[in-house]
Amino acid sequence: MGVGFPRWALPVLLAVLVGTLLLNQVWPSDEGEKLSYSEFITAVEKDEVVKFTVTDGSNSISGELDDGTKFTTTARDNFPLESEKELFAAHNVEVTYKAPDSNWLLSSIGLLLPFLLIIGFLVWMNKRAQGQMGNVMSIGRSRAKTYSADKPSTTFADIAGYEGVKQEITEVVDFLRMPERFKEIGARVPKGMLLVGPPGTGKTLFARAVAGEAGVGFLSVTGSDFMEMFVGVGASRVRDLFQQARKLGRAIIFIDEIDSIGRKRGAGLGGGHDEREQTLNQMLAEMDGFETSEGIVILAATNRPDILDPALLRPGRFDRQIVVPLPENDERFEILKVHSRDKRMGPDADLEVMAKATPGMSGADLANLVNEAALFAVRRNSKQIERIDFENARDRIVLGARRESLVMSADEKRATAIHEGGHAILTVLMEHSDKLHKVTILPRGMALGVTWSLPEERHTYSKEYFEDRICIAMGGRAAEKIVFGNLNSGAANDLEQATSIARRMVREWGMSDAVGPMAWSGHQQVFLGEDLMTQGREYSDDTAKMIDTEISGLLHRQEQRALDVLGKHRKALDAVALALLEHETVDGAEIARLVHESLGSPAVEPAAVD
C-alpha cells in the first residue's frame, strides 16, 4: 500500500526550490560603489585603480581603488581589447580572471528533477488507487439522500386540494411524531404506503411535503438507484438503505418510481438470478421479513400499480394504496392560484374560468400552463399576464404550436375547412357530445386543422356517448365524401381514434350485443412483467372473427350516420366552411349559431361555451 503525503507537501517543496534559486538575486551584498564603464576607464588613467577581478562569461568587474574603496562595473563585449590590456599594464593595474561562482542547487537541479517527477507520479498514482478502491468498496452502499428535519423545503400548505390524500399521509406523520397516541388504543399504522396516480399529479411533491412535516429522518431514493451492472449490488444497497433508516430510529423511506425494481417476478427473461428479482427479494425481506423494522415507514410512488409484484402489495408491506387522481375543477383552481402567487396577474385573468377550461390537466400541466402564459406575456411586451396569454398558452399545450412556415394551397385550405366543418357540425348536433370550444384551419402541431371540444367533469361514460364520439370522428371523412366525392389522407388520425374506441367498446366494456358481457384486455408486453410463455389470445378464432365483425359494423354504422346527418345539413356545412375560410379560427358559439340558423329552428338547444 502506498505511503500518503500531505496535500501541502508539494506546494511547500516548490516554494523552497524557487526561493533558493532567487536567493542570490534578493540577498543584499556588499560589493561597493557602482561605476559606469567610462568612469572605470577614467579611474584607471588617473592611476586610481589598484586591482580588479573579471568574472568570465558575465564581464562583471569588481575591484579596489587606491583609497581602499571597493567598486563594481560591467564591461562591454569582447573585454578586454588589446588597447585596454596595454592601458592596464601601463598604469600597473593588477588584473585577475576567475570562473563564475557555482550554485550547488542549480548544478544539481538536473539530477533532482527526475526524482521530483518520480515522487510526484507516485503520489498521483497513490491517490488514484485510493479513489478507485473507495469506489469499489462503496458500490454496494445506498445512494439515498437524507433530508434534515429542521429544514423543510415543502409542506402540505404548498399542495392545493387533495384533502383526502393529505389526511392519509398526515396519519403516518402523526404516528411517527406521537407513536404513544396510537399504541394506547392498539392501532398499527401501515408500514408501507403506495402513492398511485397518473404522471404529473404530485406524488413526489407529497413525499417532499412529508419530509417537511414529519420532523423525523427522511431518506429519498429512486428505483433506478438500486440497479447496476454488477449482480447483487441492488440487494446490497437495499440492506444498506434499511440500516441507515434503523440508525435514525424513526424514519421515512421514500422510493420514487418503484415499478423499476418491483415488477412481477417470473417474467421468463432471467430466472431467479436476475438482478432485478434479487433486489426485489431483498426489499420484501427487509419490509416484513424475519427481523421487523419498527418505526420505519416506507412511501413509494408509481403510475403503473398493475405491474407490481403481488408480494409487494400484500398486507404488512405496501398494504395501503393512496390514489392521487387528476384534479377536479375546484382543485385545479387552487393549483392555479398556488402557481400564480409569484406572477403579476392582469385584472382580466380569471383563474376560475381557466380551471373550468382545463379538464383532464394534471398539476404539472397546470404549472406549465401558467409558465407558458407568462412567456406569451413577455413576447407581447406586456407588464402582466392577461386572459389572452392564458388562452394562447392553453391552445399551444392542447392543440400544439402554430406552424407559421407551412403554407397550404387554396384547394388544401378548402378541403381542411370542409373536413373540420364536418367535425364541428356533428359536435353541435350530437346529443351526447362534449361542448364545442373552437375550430381552426391554421396548422397546429402535426394537424392541418383542429376541432376542439371541452369535456365535462364526468367519471363514467354511456354507450351513446362513445357512439357519438365515433360519429364525430367520422365527420371529417364524411364531409369530404359529400362535397368532393373522394377521400384523402387527412382522416388518418380520426380513423385511429374511432377504431380504438370501437375496439374497447366491444372487447373491454361489453357494449356489443353479439359479444355480450365479456371483456378481454389488450396484450401485456413481456417487459411489463408478464410471463413470456403465457402470452397468447384468450379467445377462440370464432370469437376473434365475431369481435372483428362487431368492430367493423360499429364503425360502418357510425360513418353512415355521419353521412346521413351531414347530408341533411349540407347548407350548414357550406356556411361553416365559408366562415373558416374567411376567419381561419371560429369559436364554438359562432359555429352553433351558424348551424342553427341554417336549420331555421335548432334541433338541439346549443350548450353554453365559455
Looking at the structure, tell me whether residues 151 and 256 fall in a common domain: yes
**Active-site entry in 372, 420, 530, 559:** 420
Q: Which of 272, 295, 323 is a domain's end point? A: 323
Residues 6+ apart with CB under 8 A from 246: 293, 296
Residues 303, 425: Cα–Cα separation, whole Å:
37
The domain tally of the chain equals 4
Q: Which of 323, 340, 357 is a domain's end point? A: 323
Task: Note the pLDDT tens digit of each residue in 505-539.
Answer: 998 888 888 888 888 765 444 444 444 444 456 77
- Per the structure, the complete domain to which residue 209 belongs is given by 145-323
Looking at the structure, tell me whether residues 267 and 299 fall in a common domain: yes
For this structure, is 420 an active site residue? Answer: yes
| Least reliable range by pLDDT among 351-360, 545-554, 595-604 | 595-604
Number of Cβ within a 10 Å radius of residue 462? 11
Residue 221: its pLDDT value, please? 78
Tell me whether residue 607 is in a domain. Answer: no
Tell me whether residue 37 is in a domain. Answer: yes
Task: Note the pLDDT tens digit of each residue in 388-438.
Answer: 888 888 878 877 777 766 777 788 888 888 898 899 999 988 888 888 888
More confident residue, 551 or 189: 551
Task: Note the pLDDT tens digit of each residue in 131-150.
Answer: 544 444 444 444 455 555 44
Task: Note the pLDDT tens digit of each residue in 471-502.
Answer: 999 998 899 889 888 888 878 888 999 999 99
Q: What is the spatial order of strands in the sheet that 435-440 belongs to?
A: 450-454, 435-440, 585-587
The answer to whether 2 touches 125, Cβ cutoff 8 Å, is yes
The answer to whether 332 touches 366, Cβ cutoff 8 Å, is yes
Looking at the structure, tell me whether residues 236 and 340 fall in a common domain: no
**In the predicted structure, residue 163 carries a pLDDT above the cut 70:** yes
User: Band of the pLDDT at 186, cuts 50, 70, 90?
Assistant: confident
Looking at the structure, tell me whether residues 368 and 418 fall in a common domain: no
Mean pLDDT of 189-209: 80
State the CATH number of the domain containing residue 300.
3.40.50.300
Looking at the structure, tell me whether residues 277 and 223 fall in a common domain: yes
Single pTM value for the model: 0.63
Number of Cβ within a 10 Å radius of residue 233? 18
**How far does CA 229 lie from the centroid of its chain?**
23
**In the predicted structure, residue 117 carries a pLDDT above the cut 70:** yes
Looking at the structure, tell me whether residues 55 and 151 fall in a common domain: no
